[in-house]
Amino acid sequence: MPEGKALVLFWTKNGNTEKVARRIHDTLKKAGMDVSISRIQKKKIEVEYLDYNLIFLGAPVYENLSPKLVLTFLHKNRRREGVELIPSAPEIPGVAAAPFCTYGGGHTGYNEAEPMLKHIGQYFEHEGIRVVEYIAVPGFFPEADESYNTDGRFGDIRQRPDEHDLIEVEGSVRGILRRLHRVLPLGNLNL
C-alpha cells in the first residue's frame, strides 16, 4: 500500500480549473505529501488510482457534466487491468478521492455543478474508493454572453476563481487531511 502519496488529475480549457488544481497541489505539498499533478490527455493514458492515498480529479462543468474528453478518460480508465467492479463496492482501505470542478453557475448556481461532481464520484465509489469531499469553485465563462458572468446567481464572476476562492480550496484540502490522517496512511503531515 502506498504511503503519503497524492495525485491531482485535471483538465482545463481556459485555465480556471488549472488554478484550482495547482492550489490543491501546493496545499498538499506544503502539508508534506508526495504529490503529482497531471493534465488528463486525449491519448490513452491509464492511471492506477491505487498507487495513491488521495486522488483529486477535476474539470470544468460542461452542460452539467464533465467535458467529453474527461468522460472518455473516466470510462476507459475504469476498464484498466485489475479493476474489479464487485457488488456492494466494498471499500478499499488506504485510499480516498475528492472530485472538484469550476463552473459558471449562471443559471442555477451550485445545482449546475452537483451532477458533474457526483458523476465523477461514482467512478471512484464503484471501484471501492471512498469519496470524501466535493469541491466546486465558481469560474468565469469566457465563451458565454457577458450577462452569464454578471447577472447569474453568483453575481459578477469575471475575476473568478479569485484569491478568496483559492484560499477556500486550501481550507477544504487541509480539512480533508486533518479529518483523514488517522485512517489513511498519509505520512507525517504538518497540519
Binding site for ligand FMN (CB under 6 A): 12-17, 60-64, 102-105, 112, 139-141, 143
Provide the minimum distance between the beta carbon of 8 and ligand FMN in the complex, in angstroms, as a whole number.
14
Closest residue to ligand FMN in the complex (CB):
139
Name the residue nearer to ligand FMN (CB basis): 148 or 181: 148
Comparison of 15 and 175: residue with beta carbon closer to ligand FMN: 15
In which element (H, E) is residue 107 found?
A: none
Residue 147 burial class via C-beta count within 10 angstroms: exposed 0-12, middle 13-18, buried 19 and up? exposed
Q: To the nearest whole angstrom, how small is the minimum distance from the Cβ of residue 114 to ligand FMN?
A: 10
- Distance CA(39)–CA(18), nearest Å, equals 9
Which DSSP string do the residues of 12-44 spell out, in sequence order?
-SSSHHHHHHHHHHHHHHHTT-EEEEEE--SS-
Query: Closest CB to ligand FMN among 63 and 84?
Result: 63
By C-alpha distance, which of 103, 185, 186 is closest to 141? 103
- The alpha-helical segments, DSSP class H, found in 31-162 are 68-77, 114-127, 146-150
CB of 42 to ligand FMN, least distance (A): 15
Nearest CB to ligand FMN, comparing residues 42 and 178: 42
CB of residue 30 to ligand FMN, shortest distance in Å: 23
Minimum gap (Å) between residue 102 Cβ and ligand FMN: 3
Amino acid at 60: P
Q: Which is nearer to ligand FMN, 15 or 171 (CB)?
A: 15
